[in-house]
Chain A
Amino acid sequence: MTEVLRTDGLSKSFGGVRAVHQVSFGVREGELLALIGPNGAGKTTCFNMLMGQLKPTSGEIYLRDENLAGLAPREIWRKGVGRTFQITATYQSMTVIENVQMALISHHRRLYSIIPYAHKLYRQEAMALLELVGMADQAERACAILAYGDLKRLELAIALSHDPSLLLMDEPTAGMAPKERIKLMQLTADIVKQRKISVLFTEHDMDVVFAHSHRIMVLNRGVLIANGSVNEIRNDAKVKEVYLGGGNLFEKEKDSSNA
């Protein structure tokens, strides 16, 4: 199976802290890949590098053959990578559909256009995207009054607007009610299947992770400790240790007492 994204020895240090160390993995075409790990494992740092918020200290990120390491977020987006945020980021002063139209205008490179009315541009495309995420009936509402779950779905529509080949989702269900979480991830899984998009996402909710991902990677203390199918991860001794204790803190003490 071909790989859409491939990282090679991705590392990031803040001063003396090695937040992410030599992380290499690939995202295959059409796959839902989860990146999990306890708090402070380096998931967010890893994501920020993929999305261009942070410049890696070393290592490469390849989108097919192009190196993305060090590019700005907007350049990475132009190469066909969509993203959603952990805390939603939408344009509060616009209507729901205008939020999607804005992304479409950018995608069609009409940002500096000063003749047409923006709210008339790419309306049908925008409406189709809203229908896809089940927001069509709310298209004309002000974005500022939406419920949080709806904002998350709107963000998904925005992220899909330039027909990305890869979608990066940073804790897509954070801050949502349990029922809503399952619904949103089901929606994402359906879209992935339908549009043949690959998704890499981080998540804290294990129900979501184990129900929907095709493959799971586990990060701990900046190092990738496991990478495999759902069942492999479920039975991985190291992962259990990280998540259920008996791992991190006492290991050193044990070492020193043995010594």
Chain B
Amino acid sequence: MGLFIAQLLTGLANAAGLFLVASGLSLIFGVTRIVNFAHGSFYMLGAFIGYSLMQVLPGFFGFWASVLLAGVAVGLIGVIVEICVLRPVYKAPELFQLVATFGVILVIQDLALMTWGAVDVLGPRVPGLKGIVRVLGEPVPQYDLALIALTPFVLFALWYLISKTRIGILVRAATQDREMVGALGVNQAWLFTGVFFLGAALAGIGGAIQLPKGGADLLMDFNILAAIFVVVVIGGMGSLPGAYIAAVLISVLNVFGVTYIPQSTLVLMFVVMAVVLMVKPYGLLGREEVAGEHGQVGEPERPFKPAGTQGRLLVGGLLAILAFVPLFGSSFLSVLVSDVLIFCLFAASLHFILGLGGLVSFGHAAYFGGGAYVAALLVSTVGAPMEVAFLLAPVGACLGAVIIGWLCIRLTGVYFAMLTMAFAQLLWSLVFQWDEFTGGDDGLVDIWPAPWLSGTTAYYYLTLVVGVGGIIFLRHMAHTPFGYALRASRDSKRQAEATGIHTKRIQWAAFAFAGAMAGLAGSLFVFSKGSIFPTELEIARSFDALIVIFLGGVKTLSGAVVGGASLEFVKDFLTRFEYWRLTLGLLIIVVVILAPDGIVGSLRKFGERLGVLRGVEN
């Protein structure tokens, strides 16, 4: 019994930091509609800045002053980010901003590395709260009790701010209807900046306040990201009490999970989220999302036709050049080009549902990595021949997508995105923790292609044929009745349903098809590397594909491929330098600001302005 209580208290204490960070994310999303990937970075900065301040400010009050000052400092950094990076892109298509915040993640990672170095720092213990208290014989740190006592006050203060003050009323009004608030004479720009300050400051405080329980390291930004998204989604986007309940739920479950079912700690959180979303699609205390058509705001996509002779000749020429790479280039170049091709196929498969279907999936890596694991497991456990495993991988990924799609497709917008992410994370944690079967963290190795395909050159040609073939097939699908039906379901669900189109079923089929194509990419990947690790299922992998689609241009057919190829080549070049993340992050931010229609979209507009391309009539 004592142990039980002690664990409950630990869970409640852990919830404090999680709640602070998640409530900030919830606020920012609620008002600005920006899915702020950089929120984990604010949390990390809060921890590091808090740590540095604690070295200078001594004693009990020094600690709490450091926590608050870290919050203010991070809040100001948030303001800088908002003004410099996000303000120029508010008018861009919805969700485009997340690319910008991704750039911010990279920049902050390297800035933190420069400032604090690559060592993990251990948080100081709080003077005056160093001891323990015995609860039914079990030791409980005093600091934990302090956190548990503190959190309700923070919740109350935030609740008061949002519910009772004039600023809070404006924030809530903006959450419901931004345009109306603007029309009533409120300066939206400063409201957004203010909310960003508050959100970032909360993340900073959250980072600093957990120092005595954890510490600070350079991985904590991505490590907390999944957890805070889960908390916000379970609680209901924009609901503070919801975020608190969810933070407590997740933290307590986590502590008990560690004790009683240690092999499933990572899975637990996502299982809870999946269950909650299936029962209450908008979270525990969330309200139904006002239908914003995500990724499709602003100018509608242009009508398109299959490429003409010119376009086909261009692609043919490019293919001819690629075909000669093994003959004239180095084997290093061959490997690089196949990596890029595989990634482009993966990105193009996501682009199919995201661009044409308006289905923003945050968990597409599940099918890429999933396909790769299906192939690897077939080879390593059953001893299947490579050719069979290669072909069954997309089938397996497709089956996964059929099941996950069935569960996700009824949700829309950001909730769809979150549920897809939850399932991807579920798969990741399953693979990560099921050592005996999947090899866990050590992955599966010795997965090599059949003899007739081994060797860099032979496999290069396989990648070229399958990769390019897959991309062309995806493009072809866009022009077929099925692709059109998918677009119709996105453009106007009303009209589509009124003319006999079962929109959900079309979207479900498209989701499964995209999963199969991602699985094909995963299949190519695993045999080219000879191994597979859980990292291929991670959120970061899903984000990679998402980022290049927006970079390339979500409303263009070739966006994913152009964006994917550009980013991969640039990355390959930049990673030779020490602070490549900083450069890449800045580069992404610059592209986002200069080319809000993505590379292809903006080039097209530029060409039209020059008169090289035929523009759309007005």
Contacts and interface: CB of A to CB of B under 8 A. Distances in A.
Do the two shown chains form a genuine complex with each other?
Answer: yes
A141 B300 contact: no
B303 interface: yes
Given A113-B481, A114-B482, A92 B499 contact: no
Contact of B491 (A92, A105, A162): A92
A113 B497 contact: no
Given A85-B495, A89-B498, A141 B617 contact: yes
Contact of B300 (A85, A93, A101): A93
B479 A117 contact: yes
A10 interface: no
A74 B500 contact: yes
A111 interface: yes
Interface string A92-136: 111100100111011100111111111101000000000000000
Nearest to B509: A112
A54 interface: no
B499 A106 contact: yes
Contacts of A117: 306, 479-480
Interface in B288-319: 299-303, 305-306
Interface string A41-78: 00000000001000000000000000000001110011
A145 B618 contact: yes
A78 B485 CA distance: 16
Nearest to B617: A145
Interface in B466-496: 476-477, 479-485, 487-488, 490-492, 494-496
Given A89-B494, A90-B492, A91-B491, A110 B500 contact: no
A211 B501 CA distance: 35
Contacts, number: 115
Contacts of B492: 89-92
Contact of B303 (A90, A94, A114, A121): A94
B502 interface: yes
B604 to A, nearest CB: 14
A12 interface: no
B300 A92 contact: yes
Nearest to A108: B481
Nearest to B489: A91
A73 B504 CA distance: 14
A187 interface: no
B500 A106 contact: yes
B482 A112 contact: yes
B183 interface: no
Residue of B487, B500, B509 most packed against chain A (CB within 10 A): B500
A182 interface: no
A41 to B, nearest CB: 23
A124 to B, nearest CB: 17
B482 A113 contact: yes
B307 to A, nearest CB: 12
Interface residues of B, number: 35
B330 to A, nearest CB: 39
A200 interface: no
Contacts of B506: 111
B491 A77 contact: no
Nearest to A76: B498
A236 to B, nearest CB: 33
Interface string B500-520: 111000100100000000000
Residue of B305, B494, B506 most packed against chain A (CB within 10 A): B494
B279 interface: no
A85 B497 contact: no
A161 B494 CA distance: 16
B499 A77 contact: yes
Contacts of B491: 90-94
Nearest to B303: A95
A116 B499 contact: no
B288 to A, nearest CB: 17
B509 A78 contact: no
B114 interface: no
Contacts of A98: 303, 484
Residue of B299, B306, B482, B502 most packed against chain A (CB within 10 A): B482
A94 to B, nearest CB: 5
Contacts of B617: 141-142, 145
A144 interface: yes
A93 B303 CA distance: 5
A104 to B, nearest CB: 9
Given A111-B481, A116-B481, A73 B509 contact: no
A73 B498 contact: yes
B495 A107 contact: no
B501 A121 contact: no
Given A89-B492, A93-B487, A118-B483, A102 B499 contact: yes
A73 B491 CA distance: 17
Residue of A51, A101, A111, A161 most packed against chain B (CB within 10 A): A111
A158 interface: yes
B119 interface: no
Nearest to B484: A118
B504 to A, nearest CB: 11
B302 A105 contact: no
B485 A83 contact: no
A121 B480 CA distance: 10
Contacts of B501: 74, 106, 111
Contacts of B476: 114
Nearest to A119: B305
Contacts of A93: 300-303, 487, 490-491
B616 interface: yes
Contact of B485 (A92, A106, A115): A106
Contacts of A72: 497
Residue of B303, B306, B492, B494 most packed against chain A (CB within 10 A): B303
A157 to B, nearest CB: 12
Interface in B47-87: none
Interface string B521-556: 000000000000000000000000000000000000
A129 B418 CA distance: 43
A77 B500 contact: yes
A51 B302 contact: no
A117 to B, nearest CB: 5
Contacts of B483: 118
A158 B495 contact: yes
A101 B484 CA distance: 10
Contacts of B301: 92-93
Interface in B588-618: 616-618
B300 A102 contact: no
A213 to B, nearest CB: 23
A135 to B, nearest CB: 15
Interface in B449-481: 476-477, 479-481
Contacts of A142: 302-303, 616-617
A78 B499 CA distance: 8
Residue of A51, A78, A112 most packed against chain B (CB within 10 A): A112
Residue of B299, B488, B495 most packed against chain A (CB within 10 A): B495
25 contacts: A51-B498, A72-B497, A74-B501, A77-B499, A85-B495, A90-B492, A90-B495, A92-B492, A93-B487, A94-B303, A94-B491, A102-B484, A102-B488, A105-B484, A111-B506, A112-B509, A116-B480, A118-B481, A142-B302, A142-B616, A142-B617, A144-B299, A158-B495, A158-B499, A162-B499
The 4 tightest CB contacts between A and B, nearest first, are A89-B495, A92-B300, A93-B301, A91-B491
Given A89-B498, A94-B487, 12 more contacts: A73-B498, A102-B499, A103-B500, A105-B485, A106-B485, A111-B481, A111-B506, A113-B481, A114-B481, A116-B481, A119-B305, A141-B617
